[in-house]
Amino acid sequence: MISAFFIFNQKGEVLISRLYRTDFKRSIADVFRIQVVSNSDVRSPIITLGSTSFFHVRINNLYVVAVTKTNANAALVFEFCYRFISICKAYFGKVDEEAVKNNFVVIYELIDEINDFGYPQNSEIDTLKTYITTESIVSTNIAAEESSKITTQATGAISWRRADVRYKKNEAFVDVIENVNLSMSAKGNVLRADVDGHIQMRAYLTGTPECKFGLNDKLVIDKNDKGQSDAVELDDCRFHQCVSLAEFDADRTISFVPPDGEFELMRYRSTSNVKLPLRVIPSVTEVGTTQVQYTVIVKANFNNKLSATDVVIRIPTPLNTTTTECKAPTGKAKYVPAENVIIWKIARLQGGAECSIRATADLTRTTTRQVWARPPIDVDFQVLMFTASGLIVRFLKVFEKSNYQSVKWVRYLTKASGNYQIRF
């Protein structure tokens, strides 16, 4: 199992170092620094040197590293790393060098609590928060009482939820958030288009409610009433541990006892019938070796009532650009030499609308004549109340012993950040 756990910063300095077993010395951190941090060729998240394996996850210029000497379950180790990151997010809001440095005591407490002799035990944020607090210490009486509760909860059937939750108003919020990834060839063919979605839920419900959740998942729809066209095919999905997988396997209903507060109910992926919200038509011509001319047209391919916000289009310029000239009737465009791109920002783009930009970039002569690699145009945007996969929440039912009424809210958001690319 995990023998050691480290956090490194960008420069390879050790921020957190914890050894769970005696089969390593602290100097193993140097090995990682030399072999991985200082070696820019290494891209693999798992490096095995001799009998030692390093698993690392990069986040915000930090390396979260687990080291093992045994044939550990790699998926488990990575799950632990990602879980650690999400726990940190829950505790400090963000995970970066500064946060780690400011909260190193809590981090040591957390990882000691989660791992026993390198075996991850309880990593439920909700539970952890009950006894690893960032506030001042409560009195010993209460602490004793709490600690007995902790034991029952941690060993109980629903370790993620306390029994005594009370709310005046029972509410549940469901956010369906989708990330669209696209890469389109210069000829306009879609090379790859997929949706990375997750359903985020905030449950403020009294007692121990049992929820049932329904989507327009193709498998479910096809089983019930055939012939409906708006069903979505999900490639794979992953649920929060509160979801009863037995029931899902049996009749594909999603039923669960939600943890208190915010959690990620499920993650899914869809690759078929992806609706692309924005269509980009670039036309780029190189005039000799001294100039490049651009004409880029953007079309919004969705309902007129909706609109895309925060649209940012990055149009790459050659590395030897000296000056550019941009004419954008809608939005603002400017040349950013630090990234070698023209950034065109459109604050709001109504569904069905179309806008364009014309730009020229002047080039200088270079020593070695190199063909411009033509990196793709990158588009970032957000569209509210739209799902690229077409997924819709069909129902959310809450059952509780007291049979109270609850209010449910559903929101949809489709966004692209960094992976919506069009070649030219």
Partner 1 sequence: MATSMRGLTQFIADIRGARVKELEEKRINKEMANIRKKFKDGNLDGYQRKKYVAKIIFTYILGYKVDIGHMEAVNLIASPKYSEKQIGYLAVTLLMHENSDFLRLVVNSIRKDLDSNNEIDNCLALHAIANVGGSEMAEALVEDVHKLLISATSQSFVKKKAALTLLRLYRKHPEVIPAAEWALRLVSIMDDQDLGVVVCVTSLVMALAQDHLDAYAVCYTKAVDRLQRLVIEHEYSATYTYYKVPSPWLQVKLLRLLQYYPPTEDQTIRTILHQVLQTIMNNCAEPTRNVQHNNAQHAVLFEAIGLAIHLDTGSPLVSNAAVLLARFISSKETNVRYLGLDTLAHLAARADSLEPIKRHQNTIILSLRDKDISVRRRALDLLYSMCDIDNSELIVGELLRYLRVADYALREEMVLKIAILTEKYASSYKWYVDTILQLISTAGEHVGDEVWYRVVQIVTNTEDLQHYAAKVAFEHLKTPSTHESLVKVGGYILGEYGHLIANDPGYSPLEQFQLLHSKSQFCVAATRALLLSTYVKWVNVFPEIKPQLLNIFDRYRHVLDAELQQRACEYYTLASRPDEDDFLQNICEEMPPFPPRVSALLGSLNKKQGDTGDKRTWIHGGKEANLDRDATKRKTLNMNLTNDDNTSAPPSSTDDIISSLAGLNMTSTPTPSPANPLVSSSGDGSLHLSVAPNIDRWYEKLTYSGDGVLYEDVQIQIGLKSRYQGHIGQVAIYMGNKVDASLSSFTATVKVDDTEALSASFSKIPPNVIGPRSQSQQILQVECKKMFSTPPILTVSFLTGSHQTTSIRLPVVLTKFFEHVKLEAADFFERWKLIGNEREAQSIFPVNLTSSGQLDLNKYRAVISGHRLNVLDGIDPNPNNLVAAGVLHMSVEGKVGCLLRLEPNREAKLCRLTVRSTSGDVAKEVQKLIQKPIVAA
State the DSSP string of 191-207. EEEEEEEEEEEEEE-SS
370 touches partner 1 (CB under 8 A): yes
Residue nearer to partner 1 on the CB measure, 70 or 323: 323
121 touches partner 1 (CB under 8 A): no
Which CA distances in Å does 303 have to 4, 276, 307, 394, 402? 53, 12, 8, 20, 42
How many whole angstroms from its chain centre is CA 293? 36
Residue (of 309, 284, 276, 299) closest to 373 by Cα position: 284
State the DSSP string of 47-87. EEETTEEEEEEEETTEEEEEEESS---HHHHHHHHHHHHHH
**Contact region with partner 1 (CB under 8 A), list: 68-76, 235-243, 295-303, 313-321:** 313-321
134 touches partner 1 (CB under 8 A): no
User: Least distance from C-beta 309 to partner 1, angstroms?
Assistant: 26
The strand pairing partners of 182, in sequence order, are 193, 420
User: Least distance from C-beta 75 to partner 1, angstroms?
Assistant: 29
Residue nearer to partner 1 on the CB measure, 8 or 160: 8
| Rounded Cα gap, residues 31 and 352, in angstroms | 56
Residue nearer to partner 1 on the CB measure, 70 or 370: 370
| Rounded Cα gap, residues 360 and 327, in angstroms | 9
321 touches partner 1 (CB under 8 A): yes
Are residues 66 and 77 in contact, defined by beta-carbon separation less than 8 angstroms?
yes
Of 255, 320, 330, 360, the residue at the interface with partner 1 (CB under 8 A) is 320
Residue nearer to partner 1 on the CB measure, 157 or 338: 338
Task: Enumerate residues 29-88 that contact partner 1 by CB under 8 A.
Answer: 61
User: Least distance from C-beta 337 to partner 1, angstroms?
Assistant: 3
User: Least distance from C-beta 9 to partner 1, angstroms?
Assistant: 9
368 touches partner 1 (CB under 8 A): yes
366 touches partner 1 (CB under 8 A): yes
147 touches partner 1 (CB under 8 A): no
User: Least distance from C-beta 316 to partner 1, angstroms?
Assistant: 12
Residue nearer to partner 1 on the CB measure, 34 or 384: 34
The strand pairing partners of 413, in sequence order, are 177, 384
Amino acid 234 reads L
130 touches partner 1 (CB under 8 A): no
Amino acid 31 reads V
Of 146, 171, 325, 339, the residue at the interface with partner 1 (CB under 8 A) is 339
Q: Where are the alpha helices (DSSP H) in 49-179?
A: 74-92, 97-102, 104-114, 125-131, 140-155
User: Least distance from C-beta 312 to partner 1, angstroms?
Assistant: 16
- The residues binding partner 1 (CB under 8 A) are 10, 61, 319-323, 337-340, 362, 364-368, 370
